[in-house]
Amino acid sequence: MVDPATTPLGKMLLDEITPVVMVLRTPLVEESCLKNGLSLLQILTPFSNFNNIDVPVRTSSDQPYRLQKFKLRLFYESDIRQPNLEVAKERLKQVITQAGEKDLSELCSDPPQLSNVVSSTESENLPSWFQFFNKELIHTVSFSDHEAFDHPVACLLVVSSKDEQPINRFIDLFNTNKLPSLLNDGSMDPKILKHYLLVHDNQDGSSEKAAKILTEMRSTFGPNECRLLCINSSQDGQIDHQDNPWDLYKPDTSPSQHLGCFLNIDDFNEIKDLMQELSSKHIIPYMEQKIRVLNQQVSATRKGFRNQLKNLWWRKGKDDTFDSPTGSMYTFSSIESQIRILGDYAFMLRDYELALSNYRLISTDYKLDKAWKRYAGVQEMMGLTYFMLDQSRKEAEYCMENAFSTYLKTGSSGQQNSTRCGLWWVEMLKARDQCKEAATVYFRICGEEPLYSAVMLEQASYCYLLSKPPMLHKYGFHLILSGDRYKKCDQIKHAIRTYRSATSVYRGTTWGHIKDHIHFHIGQWYALLGMYDVAVAHMLEVLACSNESKTTQEVFLRDFLQIVQKTGKTFEVLKLQLPVINISSLKVIFEDHRTYASPAAASVKESLWYSLEEDMTPSLSTTRSNWLELQSKVIPKKYKESNICVAGEAVKVDIEFKNPLQIPISISSVTLICELSVKSDEIESDSNSSTSEPRNDVESQKLTATKYTMDGSSDISSFTLSEIDISIGGGETIMVQLMVTPKVEGILNIVGVRWKLSGSVVGLYKFESNLVKKKIARGRRNANYSSGNDLKFIVIKSLPKLEGIIHSLPERAYTGHLRQLVLELRNQSEFPVKNLKMKVSQPRFLSVGMHDELDTKFPACLEKKTNSELSGADGNCSRVPQAVFLFPEDISIHGETPLSWPLWLHAAVPGNISLYITIYYEMGDTSSIIKYRTLRMHYNLQVLPSLNVLFQISPCPSRLKHFLVHLDVMNQTISESFQIHQLSTVGHQWEISLLQPFDTIFPLQSLYAGQALSCFFMLKNCGEESISSDIISSPSRILGNDASLQGSSDTLFDISGSPLADFHHCERLQQRVSSQDDPNAVDFILISRPPKSDTVSGISDPQYIYSHHACHCSTSGTGPITWLIDGPRTMHHNFFASFCEIDLRMTIYNSSDTAVFIRVNTYDSPNSNGQSSDVTTHSNCCSYRKSIRMA
Amino acid sequence: MIVCVAVVGHQNNPLYIQSFTEEDDALKLHHIVHCSLDVVDERVNNPKKSGPTLNETFLGLLYPTENYKVYGYLTNTKVKFILVTTDLDVRDADVRNFFRRFHAAYVDAVSNPFHIPGKKITSKTFSERVSAIVKSFGLSSAG
């Protein structure tokens, strides 16, 4: 255990609880002293602190001990009174404010890291002014009447030799009405030790007169009590003291002023001797004496069993008569005060045992008397005595706690005392490393006065920090509490300091609510101080406060913008948190040899395009390697892996902005940040000659253009940027497409994105800083690219680029929808493109027409023509649908003239259909790096169900090779109505006809929504084998037979026409059930039209029809054999004549290709044996005649 | 009345804080909860002081502030539950009972396969259940 005296508290006690000497002086004395720039008190003070006084002391016991350290506290008589509370407050406030000013420089620096704070030692952490403040706070309660250690022990009367009648002056000085109230109101003995000092200023002449006065004094006041002090012995006032002792005690002097400049070494020593003698020869013996006297007195009256009993009895009696809480009835002569003086004197002379026993004695008395303040004071001293004795910690703490709470009980007057008591208590706990407990005491000290409690709370927080293990959460909390109180007292700098310290606790944690609060307030306070830059930095932290309430967010944003406005600057903030950028959504769309007609096309998976284009791009591997070779010549190796984009064509970047707040924010001027380094021609030629050293030859000139206006400076820049203004609602996420269009060749690097929040703060976001996870829109490239390269582009010179659009493609259609579309291709550049090829992903839905079909009118062109024309039309439709459609060689597109080409759309089946179209073309100009490009188009088509068509075919019971076709049509749409136009069969061998006139079964012209229709057809197989097989081999030649369902008014559609036949072929392929084609299967095409508008003229017919294809409808029933028995229906016969013989004719038809063995059994009658006959048919009909004889 | 309940993760990260007061004192309660973590740490690291309550999840009264009493509970996964109440005379049994039910609710909430461990608990069901538990707090003893 360390010696209690060396602890901070011990030092403080040895400093504070020492004998007080009251100094009385005449004005002339003061005048002489002031020549040195010091008052008398200031001259004496440095010499009243003795480190090695070495005085033997004997108190109550017989064993003397030696005092080494000793101190006298000197006060003028006017200062010996309780300090004015208001003045004291003002003074303390000043102390705090000054401390705040001093720390100002630190405010701009970064707040300390938590780990540093924890590891650093106590002295580094604690602001030094705390100690000073605590001392000042303790001094506010000095010279109280309830304790004796502040009562003057001695009195120093000082008269100048210049004074008239010095002896009288001495007597006058101790005039009662000038003395402090303590001596007058009876709380202390007015008969105190007096020491008479005559000050002689050597500048006023020789000291002879003074010596004379001294002898006179000695005869009047006694020989030992008088002394002469000569000062200002130096005549010129140029004495410059080494280690000037007064500097310490008067720190606020200017350095030019020499303190004690008239005091030479003799004066110096004389003052020293004076003080030494005063304490060792007068004060200490006086105190010893007094202690012994008092001790005897106390022993006589209070010690011993009899005295205690007497005291108790007497107290009890007194208790009835007195009930004064102030305890002012204790005059100096009362035994209680005497004991207290005894205790305090013993304490001051370090006889702690004696002090303690007396404090104990008096403590019970005061308690019985309910003199709480005095009781608390004694308890306080007991605690300190225990501490100094280093005994019984528990007792010490108990006493302090008791004193503390008792002080508090005494009301407002005790508040100050309790604070002092608390501070001592805290020091006591700190000395014993009980920091945590100390912190709670600090917490208890803080009363209503917010300023003091702020300081106390801050000290408490440091206690938590210093406790082992450190309690960081509490550290932070108390700092915040303290900061709040500082703010209440307008100590903004202190408030900022505490809050800043607190940030280190919360940094890196997820306690967002607290963090937001701290940063917001620091920001606000900095703004109050006018330090807007730092304020903005802190405010930035709270911007993305998604978990705060809406009003809080509004306040945060508003205040932030206000502060930013006050700075009058445009801030560029890297990683501004508002809005949040979803980096994983970053998607770069660029066009090298692949171009896209629409954004939708660009978002389609590369692999899909790849599979579509695979057989179209001619011998890909060789082209590719050539292309690479070519590239490696032109482009340095370093950039070989970079992407390629074409000058003049925009690179698009999709990125998501998310507003984390609940309030809308407005973002303006969203642009990309790009760099374009331009290659110079010479270097390029160099690189051509030496490809082995490509490293150094890249960029000669780097243009970094960041543009704020769209058009203003576009001329000077080597690229243009698109600019977007958006407003993001609360919690919304907006995908933004930004574009950069390079204008010259070089290396384009997309660095990041910038935006302006609410028109005042510019946010930057660098893509490289994060790991770019680009959605790979490029499947062909290797996956293991470094992220940086994805945003790096080689800009090559501009190329022709086709733009394509399909006109009149509906977004949704009903099943069966058949119409003509027009593909329009444009090439904006001068250079022509050639060798166009096209491929469609779904030929079932989209087929390519012929160029001359463009002018024809649909559906009129499909209508059946006269026979002579028909043969001509046949030639047209002999086309086989190809996988890749080659445009005629002579087509080249350039300049103004677009190319239009017909397409046919047939909505074959319901569902969401994605149509992918890719068009390949080659550059007319072969010098460029890219030889060919592809245009990719993507459309989505929603196909709704329309008519549900069902065919049921059953053999006709009465005729061979005739079938009954039962057609069920159900309109599945909600609102649409259809006009059934015709039903056609495909193939020569089939003939179809209506069983009944259509008007009778279906008088309404249209089939309305939800309606169903069923009707019967007669289907006749009239064909021969040869034709049937012909159909299978060349399905393009479709000839059919049609049954009109519309009466005779309308012409029928020719199903062998170009689009219908093509689509039918696709349908056949799609609807194929088995690998083997059934030769007896029949294909139906049901053609319907949208209902004709009621208005007779003016509105042209709709440009589309509906065609429903039902393929491979099997005509055969259970087997290939059909048979029919025919005979007379009625027969009249006279059975008397003979048997009746009826000729029945049985026709058996084998529809299969192979020979069939047929056996016919008859079961005529039970008595006759069944006859059987065997026939072999070979794909033919055979008639078998049989006579039935009936009895 | 219970003014605040909180779930704090094993890295002292808040997983769930819900206050049940009318006035706007969320910040204060956040601070109180945050502050009490020190005491939890102390209790856990110095089991001697807690003596017989060694290996028990219920940590007891953490500390009394001016107007509140703060109780703590530590699960096996070092997740802390903090309860702040304004009732100045609370029976330990009530608090224990509360924490037991709260623990059950918490376990159910984090058993949700869509809950990411270590992330804030956003389950509506959980907060409803917690509100119910909070409302019923102290009623059992009265009835």
- pLDDT recorded at residue A1190: 52
**Angle formed by the axes of helices A335-348 and A352-369, nearest 10°:** 150
pLDDT, average across residues A366-375: 82
- Using CA atoms of A714, A717, A721, A723 in order, give the dihedral in degrees to the nearest 10: -50
pLDDT at A314 over 80: no
pLDDT at B115 over 50: yes
> What domains sit in chain B, N to C, each tagged with a CATH number?
2-142 (3.30.450.70)
pLDDT, average across residues A393-412: 84
Question: CB of B27 within 8 Å of any CB in chain A?
Answer: yes
pLDDT, average across residues A1076-1093: 73
Q: Which of B14, B36, B38 sits opposite A511 (nearest CB)?
A: B14
Q: Which of A472, A474, A514 sits opposite B30 (nearest CB)?
A: A514
**Per-residue model confidence as pLDDT tens digits over A696-727:** 333 333 333 333 333 333 345 678 888 888 88
Mean pLDDT, rounded, of chain A = 74
Residues in chain A with CB shorter than 8 Å from the CB of B26 are 513
Say which amino acid occupies A1062: D
- pLDDT recorded at residue B105: 92
Of A62 and A351, which is predicted with more confidence? A351
- A327, A396, A480: which is closest to A4 by C-alpha? A396
C-alpha distances in angstroms, B103 versus B45, B79, B106, B109?
A: 22, 10, 5, 10
- A657, A656, A661: which is closest to A557 by C-alpha? A661
pLDDT at A785 over 60: no
As a residue count, chain B comes to 143
* Inter-chain residue contact B42 with A471, CB threshold 8 Å: yes
DSSP symbols for A400-448: HHHHHHHHHHT-HHHHHHHHHHHHHHHHHHHHTT-HHHHHHHHHHH--S
pLDDT at A1177 over 60: no
- pLDDT recorded at residue B104: 92
**Per-residue model confidence as pLDDT tens digits over A961-1000:** 778 888 888 888 888 888 887 888 877 777 788 777 766 6
Q: Which of A464, A469, A514 sits opposite B34 (nearest CB)?
A: A514
**Per-residue model confidence as pLDDT tens digits over A523-538:** 888 888 888 888 888 8
Q: Which residues pair with A761 in a beta bridge?
A: A571, A757
pLDDT at A1107 over 70: yes
Report the C-alpha gap between A1087 and A1081 in whole angstroms.
Answer: 19
Q: CB pairs below 8 Å between A and B: how many?
A: 38
Instruction: List alpha helices for A260-329, DSSP H.
Output: 265-277, 284-302, 305-321
- A481, A494, A442: which is closest to A99 by C-alpha? A494
pLDDT, average across residues A1065-1092: 74
Report the C-alpha gap between A842 and A52 in whole angstroms.
Answer: 110
pLDDT at A412 over 80: no
Distance between A385 CA and the closest CA of chain B, angstroms = 30
| First CA to last CA distance, chain B | 16
**Per-residue model confidence as pLDDT tens digits over A719-762:** 888 888 888 888 888 888 888 888 888 888 888 888 888 877 88
B50, burial (CB in 10 Å: exposed 0-12, middle 13-18, buried 19+): middle
Give the ipTM.
0.89
pLDDT at A620 over 50: no
pLDDT at A268 over 50: yes
* Inter-chain residue contact B31 with A471, CB threshold 8 Å: no
- pLDDT recorded at residue A770: 44
Q: Which of B35, B42, B45 sits opposite A477 (nearest CB)?
A: B35
Q: Is B142 left (phi over 0), alpha (psi -120 to 50) or beta?
A: alpha
* Inter-chain residue contact B35 with A473, CB threshold 8 Å: yes
User: Residue holding tokens 């540093």?
Assistant: A116
Question: CB of B46 within 8 Å of any CB in chain A?
Answer: no
**Per-residue model confidence as pLDDT tens digits over B7-57:** 998 888 888 888 888 777 788 888 888 888 888 888 777 766 555 555 677
Give the residue from chain A lying closest to B13, CA to CA: A510
Element (H, E) at A195: strand A193-201
pLDDT at A1102 over 70: no
Say which amino acid occupies A794: I
- pLDDT recorded at residue A115: 63
Distance between B141 CA and the closest CA of chain A, angstroms = 33
Report the C-alpha gap between A605 and A602 in whole angstroms.
Answer: 8
Distance between A361 CA and the closest CA of chain B, angstroms = 36
The angle formed by the CA atoms of residues A857, A858 and A864, to the nearest 5 degrees, is: 95
- pLDDT recorded at residue A588: 81
Name which of A519-523, A841-845, A1003-1007 the model is least confident about. A1003-1007
Distance between B34 CA and the closest CA of chain A, angstroms = 6
Give the residue from chain B lying closest to A474, CA to CA: B35
- Max mean pLDDT among A6-10, A315-319, B52-56 falls in A6-10
Q: Count helices and strands (H / E) in chain A.
A: 35, 44
pLDDT at A875 over 60: no
Q: Give every CB contact of residue A685 below 8 A, 6+ residues apart in sequence.
A: none
Question: CB of A514 within 8 Å of any CB in chain B?
Answer: yes
Residues in chain A with CB shorter than 8 Å from the CB of B35 are 473-474, 476-477
As a residue count, chain A comes to 1191
How many C-alpha atoms does A670 have within 13 Å on its Cβ side? 22
Name which of A47-51, A175-179, A460-464, A608-612 the model is least confident about. A175-179
Q: Sign of the CA dihedral A590, A595, A596, A601?
A: negative
Q: Which of A464, A509, A514 sits opposite B12 (nearest CB)?
A: A509
- A397, A405, A343, A396: which is closest to A372 by C-alpha? A405
Question: CB of B44 within 8 Å of any CB in chain A?
Answer: no
CB A1019 within 8 A of CB A990: yes
CB B20 within 8 A of CB B1: yes
- pLDDT recorded at residue A972: 85
For residue A282, the 8-state DSSP code is: I
**Of all residues in chain A, what percent are helix, strand and coil, respectively (each to 5)?**
35, 25, 35
pLDDT at A1182 over 80: no
Locate A772 and state its tokens.
């770019």
User: Residue holding tokens 């582009």?
Assistant: A793
